[in-house]
């Protein structure tokens, strides 16, 4: 009778090879291995390689016994063979190899014990491996299973199989992570649940669901959708602090609310990290289930505004804000906060952080701010009009610009066309009111010489003893430069930041403004071309302007921004070497707005101009530029709604006249209602006999030009241009990210809901940069035991009490060890640095809480 070799419990795969080699070295020509459950089937290639210099491995396939027997009988006696069958040895009457088996060696191996040893599992899991031998028969699955930390699943090994099947990409086995993968896959006919059933862990999955959430449901193909519905409905009413209605009690998981809240917070947060939104996709499917029940339609806006699990809540909030804007109310609040604060709060919610809703909330916030400002009456004298605009009036233009930009970025949503119409009406009325008042009071002769654009070089550049850079950004109107100034104010490498202003001449156009900003004794608007001669020299391109600059100071140079924007620090230094005066011409806004194909992107171009100028100034600083000015040739008017025929003034002209939408230059006397004039002689300080005529409102002359973007006329937006003075530092930045500190001194947890008082020690400033943090609790194995909370450290409040906020973290409802330590993790979302604060648990039985 053949010899049987049994491998004992301390064997691993290497020992299989070693034992087989020993059998062959003992003189045995053939070794038979009947692997009853096929546990080593995936290792045959490895064994074949390992035994290559000893024996030939034959895999005995069903139906190939006679073929195998003939091969063995015809083999040379010096050849040795391992005959491996992934099936049990057949009965004697069916075994054609029985005579050969009797005089050969039969090899046996305990695959489960080998696997237990390989995985480093405790001995009590031997039965678990045997019960799930089909799952572990695959090498790839074994490898994925082996990546998990044993301590995270030794008491619930079936969850580790679930984690392997769902490809949980983390070292710790986490049932909430498994459930997130289930919900992401499909709510009906879920592929992972099919595999759970195949590998014998489906019942354990639903047992775990019941344990965690007290969810009960008859097995059916919509069971995952039922679970999702229960989770979302329970979470929504929890957030609103309302009872789940009786008609949907089958979806009430309130007895395990801590786990529901923790899971839903984790699910929502994980989608932001993964750059997809399965959370929203599941919510949409759930909404289809519950919508006909009208669960939320009768609730007050205060209730809806406390919840964020369905995007329909956000849409309702936004439509409600639109209604308040139409009703012309100003003191309305939601949960004690005004509309602008409400929109900022909603921007931090799950859907509020998605591009679509984020644009809509910012749009509504700007509409609300705009509404509050447009009702003010303008001062009735030129000096006060200018001062009011410089102090706060420019914000009307900023809010309108931001509103239109966000509306465009949101895709021109039809549902919010009413608020778009309202904003357009408010802004057009504001423009007309202020333009009429401005033109009633405007007197060029009353302006101080220092604010006249034509005196810029003499007042600001010619008197400078050190190197100076002047950036002239075409159409950079005052309000855009103020936004740029605000951004620079948070840069600690800017030593000094002052906003001055200049008043352009008329018409407020490029050929006037660019010439006025150059050194000169005389400016003359030519009669046959739209050019201004500077001391008799043309100035219609950068090379010609450089020649004019060099007349005043030979150590001068002029560049186009696009010539410099890609240069390195050293290349910039070379370009500026030996120069005292450097003019740089930037053109982002005007080149976009003047093109009818891109005119509606004017405000997007303004944002791009801010970004380009901010980045470029930082590069100039690194190239040792310490003093610079940013200004513009002119401003502009922009209305997103196309001008109507009624907004256009019909004005007869003759061949010698120059007419554009916002101005007319002529020697003739023109008497028409709604227009005024200014002598070119006063504007250019010469003896020109012509006049500039312009509308006294925001209307235009009927002439060739843009439908939305116009300039050249007389208004604060067109004529009041920025003069932003910047002095930089060569010192290294000392800016640091804003910190968070825990105010709570007690580090003992006595409830599943843990209140956390968080303080931002320093307000946001040039040396303290806004930062966001993620807060959550973990156990001593770094296993997350709570939801994730995002806290923004972005307060500019000076009083420290106003920089303290209280948040509440909900722990998973499970047993906790009073002798173990737990940690509050505060993770910086910018550099992902982590700080941990130690806590102890002093909880009574969670089921009693």
DSSP 601-621: GHHHHHHHHHHHHHHHHHHHH
**Are the CB atoms for 295 and 287 separated by under 8 Å?**
no
What tens digit of pLDDT does each residue of 654-688 get? 888 999 999 999 999 998 999 999 999 999 999 99
Give 848's pLDDT tier (boundaries 50, 70, 90): very low
pLDDT for position 40: 81
Q: What is the pLDDT of residue 273?
A: 53
The verdict on 235 and 149 lying in the same domain is yes
Instruction: CATH number of the domain at 764, please.
Output: 2.60.40.2550
- Tell me, yes or no, whether 401 lies in a domain: yes
| Same-domain check for residues 323 and 417 | yes
Q: What is the largest CA-CA distance in the chain?
A: 129
Decide if pLDDT at 10 tops 80: no
Provide the β-strand partners of residue 807.
Answer: 756
pLDDT tens digits along 307-335: 999 999 999 999 999 999 999 777 899 99
Residues 477 and 569 in one domain: yes
Do 623 and 570 share a structural domain? yes
pLDDT band at residue 299 under the 50/70/90 scheme:
very high
Count the domains in the chain: 5
Cα(32)–Cα(97) distance, integer angstroms: 10
Cα gap 67→800, rounded to integer Å: 87
436 and 473: one domain? no
Q: CA–CA separation, 482 vs 233, rounded Å? A: 46
Contact 635, 503 (CB under 8 A): no
pTM of the entire predicted model: 0.85
Looking at 109, 134, 166, the residue that finishes a domain is 109
Same domain, 130 and 261: yes
3-class DSSP state for residue 665? Answer: strand
| Cα–Cα distance for residue pair 714/636, rounded to 1 Å | 10
Say if 754 falls within a structural domain.
Answer: yes
Taking the C-alpha atoms of residue 536 and residue 534, their distance in angstroms, rounded to an integer, is 5
Q: Over the stretch 155-205, which tens digit does the pLDDT of each residue have?
A: 899 999 999 999 999 999 999 999 999 999 989 889 999 999 999 999 999
Write out the two tokens for 237.
């009413």
pLDDT-based confidence at residue 6 (cuts at 50, 70, 90): very low
Q: Is residue 642 part of a domain?
A: no
Helix (H) or strand (E) holding 534: strand 532-534
Cα four-point dihedral sign 814, 818, 821, 824 = positive
Can you read off the two tokens belonging to residue 804? Answer: 């303290």
DSSP H helices, 633-703, are 680-684
Q: Are residues 456 and 574 in the same domain?
A: yes
Is 10 domain-assigned? yes
The boundaries of the domain holding residue 584 are 452-637+708-728
* CA–CA gap between residue 242 and residue 237 (Å, rounded): 5
pLDDT at 274: 53
Q: Could you read off the pLDDT of 128-165 as tens digits, one per residue?
A: 998 998 999 888 999 999 999 998 898 899 999 999 99
Residue 237 confidence (pLDDT): 97
State residue 3's pLDDT score.
54
Q: Is 200 left (phi over 0), alpha (psi -120 to 50) or beta?
A: left
In this structure, the answer to whether residues 153 and 273 fall within a common structural domain is: yes
For residues 164 and 70, membership in a common domain is answered with no
Across 728-753, average pLDDT:
87
From start to end of 8-164, where are the E strands? 30-34, 56-59, 81-85, 105-108
Is the same domain home to 280 and 321?
Answer: no
Q: Which tokens is 213 given?
A: 């959430």
Q: Is 50 exceeded by the pLDDT of residue 494?
A: yes
Examine residue 306 and state whether it is found in any structural domain, yes or no: no
Cis peptide preceding 599, ω within 30 of 0: no
Asked if 341 and 284 sit in the same domain, the reply is no
φ, ψ for residue 356 (rounded to 5)?
A: -60, -55
Q: Is residue 503 part of a domain?
A: yes
Q: Are residues 771 and 723 in the same domain?
A: no
Q: Give yes or no for residue 8 having a pLDDT over 50.
A: no
Q: Does residue 845 have a pLDDT over 70?
A: no
- Of the residues 409, 441, 473, the one at which a domain ends: 441
Q: How far apart are CA 730 and CA 536, in angstroms?
A: 41
Q: Identify the domain boundary among 81, 109, 137.
A: 109
Residue 187 in any domain: the answer is yes
In 10 A of CB 205, how many CB atoms? 22
**Within-domain flag for 682:** no
Res. 66: pLDDT tops 80: yes
């Amino acid at each position: 009778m053949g010899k049987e070799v049994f491998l004992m419990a301390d064997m691993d795969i290497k020992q299989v090879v070693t034992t087989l080699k020993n059998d062959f070295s003992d003189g045995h020509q053939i070794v038979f291995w009947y692997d009853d459950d096929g546990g080593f089937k995936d290792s045959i290639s490895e064994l074949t390689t390992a035994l290559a210099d000893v024996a030939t491995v034959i895999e005995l396939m069903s139906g190939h016994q006679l073929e195998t027997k003939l091969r063995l009988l015809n083999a040379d006696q010096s050849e040795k063979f391992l005959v491996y069958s992934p099936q049990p040895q057949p009965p004697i009457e069916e075994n054609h190899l029985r005579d050969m088996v009797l005089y050969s060696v039969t090899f046996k191996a305990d695959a489960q014990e080998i696997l237990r040893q390989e995985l480093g599992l405790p001995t009590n899991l031997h039965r678990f491996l045997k019960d799930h031998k089909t799952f572990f028969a695959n090498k790839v699955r074994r490898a994925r299973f082996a990546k998990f930390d044993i301590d995270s699943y030794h008491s619930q090994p079936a969850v580790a199989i679930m984690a392997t099947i769902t490809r949980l990409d983390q070292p710790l086995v986490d049932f909430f992570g498994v459930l997130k993968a289930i919900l992401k896959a499909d709510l009906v006919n879920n592929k992972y649940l099919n595999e759970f059933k195949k590998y014998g862990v489906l019942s354990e999955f639903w047992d775990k669901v019941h344990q965690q959430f007290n969810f009960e449901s008859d097995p059916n193909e919509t069971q995952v959708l039922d679970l999702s519905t229960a989770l979302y409905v329970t979470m929504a009413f929890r957030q609103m602090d309302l009872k789940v209605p009786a008609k949907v009690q089958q979806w009430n998981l309130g007895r395990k609310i801590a786990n529901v809240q923790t899971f839903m917070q984790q699910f929502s947060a994980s989608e932001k990290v993964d750059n997809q939104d399965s959370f929203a996709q599941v919510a949409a499917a759930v909404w289809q289930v519950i919508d006909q029940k009208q669960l939320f339609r009768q609730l007050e806006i205060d209730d809806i505004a406390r919840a964020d699990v369905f995007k329909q809540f956000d849409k309702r909030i936004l439509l409600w804000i639109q209604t308040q804007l139409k009703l012309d109310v100003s003191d309305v609040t939601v949960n004690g906060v005004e509309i602008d604060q409400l929109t900022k709060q909603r921007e931090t919610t799950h859907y509020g952080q998605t591009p679509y809703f984020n644009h809509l909330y910012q749009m509504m916030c700007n509409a609300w701010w705009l509404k509050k400002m447009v009702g003010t009456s303008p001062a009735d004298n030129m000096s006060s009009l200018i001062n009011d605009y410089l102090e706060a009036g420019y914000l009307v233009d900023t809010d309108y610009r931001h509103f239109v930009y966000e509306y465009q970025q949101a895709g021109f949503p039809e549902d919010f066309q009413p608020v778009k119409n309202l904003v357009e009406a408010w802004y057009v009325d504001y423009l007309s009111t202020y333009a009429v008042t401005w033109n009633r009071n405007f007197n060029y002769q009353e302006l101080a010489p220092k604010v006249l654009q034509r005196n810029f070089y003499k007042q600001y550049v010619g008197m400078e003893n050190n190197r100076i850079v002047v950036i002239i950004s075409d159409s950079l109107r005052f309000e855009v430069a103020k936004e740029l100034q605000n951004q620079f104010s948070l840069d600690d490498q800017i030593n000094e930041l002052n906003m001055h202003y200049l008043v352009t001449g008329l018409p407020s156009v490029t050929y006037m403004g660019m010439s006025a900003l150059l050194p000169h004794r005389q400016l003359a608007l030519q009669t046959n071309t739209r050019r201004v001669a500077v001391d008799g020299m043309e100035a219609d391109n950068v090379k010609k302007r450089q020649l004019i600059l060099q007349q005043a100071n030979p150590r001068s140079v002029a560049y186009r921004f696009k010539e410099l924007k890609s240069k390195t620090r050293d290349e910039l230094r070379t370009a500026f070497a030996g120069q005292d005066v450097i003019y740089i011409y930037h053109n982002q806004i005007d080149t976009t707005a003047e093109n009818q194909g891109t005119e509606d992107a004017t405000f997007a171009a303004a944002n791009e101009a801010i970004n380009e100028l901010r980045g470029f100034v930082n590069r100039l600083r690194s190239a040792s530029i310490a003093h610079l000015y940013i200004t513009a040739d002119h401003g502009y008017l922009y209305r997103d709604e196309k001008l109507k025929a009624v907004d256009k003034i019909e004005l007869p002209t003759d061949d010698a006249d120059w007419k554009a939408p916002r101005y007319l230059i002529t020697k003739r006397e023109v008497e028409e209602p709604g227009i005024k004039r200014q002598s070119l002689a006063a504007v250019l300080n010469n003896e020109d006999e012509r006049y500039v005529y312009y509308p006294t409102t925001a209307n235009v002359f009927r002439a060739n030009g843009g439908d939305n973007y116009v300039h050249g006329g007389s208004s604060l937006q067109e004529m009041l241009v920025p003069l932003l003075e910047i002095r930089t530092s060569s010192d290294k930045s000392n800016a640091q990210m804003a910190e968070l500190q825990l105010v709570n001194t007690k580090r003992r947890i006595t409830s599943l809901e843990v209140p956390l008082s968080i303080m931002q020690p320093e307000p946001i400033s040039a040396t303290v940069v806004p930062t966001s943090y993620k807060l959550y609790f973990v156990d001593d194995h770094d296993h997350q035991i709570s939801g994730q909370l995002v806290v923004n450290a972005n307060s500019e409040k000076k009083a420290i009490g106003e920089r303290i906020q209280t948040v509440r973290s909900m722990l998973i409802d499970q047993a906790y060890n009073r002798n173990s330590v737990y940690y509050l993790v505060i993770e910086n979302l910018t550099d992902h640095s982590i700080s941990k604060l130690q806590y102890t648990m002093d909880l009574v039985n969670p089921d009693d809480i």
